[in-house]
């Protein structure tokens, strides 16, 4: 087998490289804001992971990040529950 070339990640100036958990956090945040995930309803990680075609591990990491923003709440032995977006920090710039 011929030698494979070494590929290097080249990122244009000003382009932000984000990992899967970051992208999932943004997707789930939008789902909550748009009402696709209702407040006070358990987020079924296995169903959501299948819907988004991802593993549960990066999804769980994304949900943990959204907990910091107040969009979901971790409940021991139950997973995550979406909270009301009113009063949550949406990560939007303040005017």
**Residue 78 has what pLDDT?**
86
Average pLDDT, the chain: 80
Which comes out higher in pLDDT, residue 9 or 83? 83
**Residue 34 has what pLDDT?**
86
- Per residue in 42-62, pLDDT (tens digit) is 999 999 999 999 999 999 999
Q: Where are the alpha helices (DSSP H) in the chain?
A: 20-33, 45-52, 56-68
**Residue 57 has what pLDDT?**
93
Cα 30 from Cα 79, distance rounded (Å): 19
């Amino acid at each position: 087998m011929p030698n494979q070339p070494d590929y290097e990640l080249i990122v244009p100036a000003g382009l932000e490289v984000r990992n899967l958990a970051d992208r999932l956090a943004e997707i789930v945040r939008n789902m909550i804001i748009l009402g696709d995930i209702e407040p006070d309803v358990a987020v079924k990680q296995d169903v959501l992971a299948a819907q988004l075609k991802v593993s549960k591990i990066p999804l769980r990491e994304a949900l943990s990040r959204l907990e910091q923003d107040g969009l979901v709440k971790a409940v021991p032995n139950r997973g995550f529950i979406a909270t009301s977006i009113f009063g949550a920090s949406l990560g939007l710039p303040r005017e």
